């Protein structure tokens, strides 16, 4: 079974994506987003973060490979009385247009190959927020795929064309199972 089919199954069985509370990091740094912004929520799942951004007034694109996740995302958005622009796409096959968005957020999904593309997709001054599992998570869940965890300094190295706003990617203490970066693309010099 393909990865996409596996994710569809999880969402169909409602084994995943029932949490509708936005990530606390997004809430803490919500001042970085405003109603004039286009934001892409990459690998959005059922849209807890996308819906939060839409409530802030952002034009929110919710992208995921699972059509079932997006169906639920649209349903939850409708129930929350906000509009989401859902895009079904496999991030292994998709490239984002250059300088097309004011912000990209990505929670609990990791694809090292996307780093250059994401930096290029931001408009000058645009914000990237990424938070996902790090190597400490393998102690909690040894069956988790080690290809999808961050090592110390991975985020800093991946997004070296951006200016750091906030960073926690040293994987300490060992109880800290996620790393994050918030960073801004430099404004175009005149
Ligand atoms: C752990 S969930 C995270 C969902 C959401 N970001 C959150 O934090 O609530 C990972 C998501 O990545 C999506 N995903 C996995 N591989 C993908 C791919 N190649 N392209 C696009 N989305 C993908 C899955 O469908 C799933 O919704």
- Arithmetic mean of pLDDT, 98-103: 98
- Arithmetic mean of pLDDT, 153-168: 98
42 pLDDT above the threshold of 80: yes
Look up the pTM and report it. 0.97
Nearest CA to ligand 1 atom 11: 43
Nearest CA to ligand 1 atom 8: 107
CA of 63 to the centre of ligand 1 (A): 9
* The pLDDT of residue 31: 98
Extents of the domains making up the chain: 3-184
CA of 52 to the centre of ligand 1 (A): 17
Nearest CA to ligand 1 atom 13: 43
Which amino acids bring their CB within 6 angstroms of ligand 1?
Answer: 3, 7, 43-45, 48, 64-66, 69, 90-92, 107-109
- Percent helix, strand and coil across the chain, each rounded to 5? 30, 25, 40
Enumerate residues 6+ apart whose C-beta is below 8 A from 125.
102, 184, 185, 186, 187
> Residue 106's closest CA among 164, 177, 189, 43?
43
* The pLDDT of residue 145: 95
- Arithmetic mean of pLDDT, 100-117: 98
Residues 46 and 86: their CA atoms lie apart, in Å, by 10
The answer to whether residues 64 and 50 touch, using CB atoms and an 8 Å cutoff, is no
* The pLDDT of residue 190: 62
Mean pLDDT over the full length of the chain: 96
39 pLDDT above the threshold of 70: yes
- 3-184: CATH class: alpha beta
What confidence tens digit (pLDDT) does each residue in 7-29 have? 999 999 988 878 899 999 999 99
* The pLDDT of residue 75: 97
CA of 137 to the centre of ligand 1 (A): 17
- Arithmetic mean of pLDDT, 162-179: 97
What confidence tens digit (pLDDT) does each residue in 62-97 have? 999 999 999 999 999 999 999 999 999 999 999 999
């Amino acid at each position: 079974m393909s990865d996409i089919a596996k994710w569809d199954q999880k969402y169909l069985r409602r084994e995943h994506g029932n949490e509708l509370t936005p990530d606390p990091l997004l809430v803490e740094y919500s001042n970085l987003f405003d109603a004039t912004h286009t934001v892409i929520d990459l690998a959005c799942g059922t849209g807890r973060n996308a819906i939060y951004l839409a409530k802030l007034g952002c034009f929110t694109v919710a992208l995921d490979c699972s059509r079932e996740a997006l169906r639920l995302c649209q349903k939850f958005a409708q129930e929350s009385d906000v509009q989401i622009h859902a895009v079904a796409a496999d991030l292994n096959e998709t490239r984002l247009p250059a300088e097309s968005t004011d912000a990209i957020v990505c929670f609990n999904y990791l694809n090292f190959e996307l780093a250059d593309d994401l930096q290029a997709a931001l408009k000058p001054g645009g914000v990237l927020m990424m938070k996902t599992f790090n190597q400490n998570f393998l102690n909690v869940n040894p069956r988790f795929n080690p290809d999808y965890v961050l090592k110390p300094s991975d985020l800093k190295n991946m997004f070296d064309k951006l200016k750091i706003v906030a960073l926690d990617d040293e994987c300490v203490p060992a109880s800290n199972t996620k790393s994050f970066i918030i960073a801004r693309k430099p404004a175009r010099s005149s």
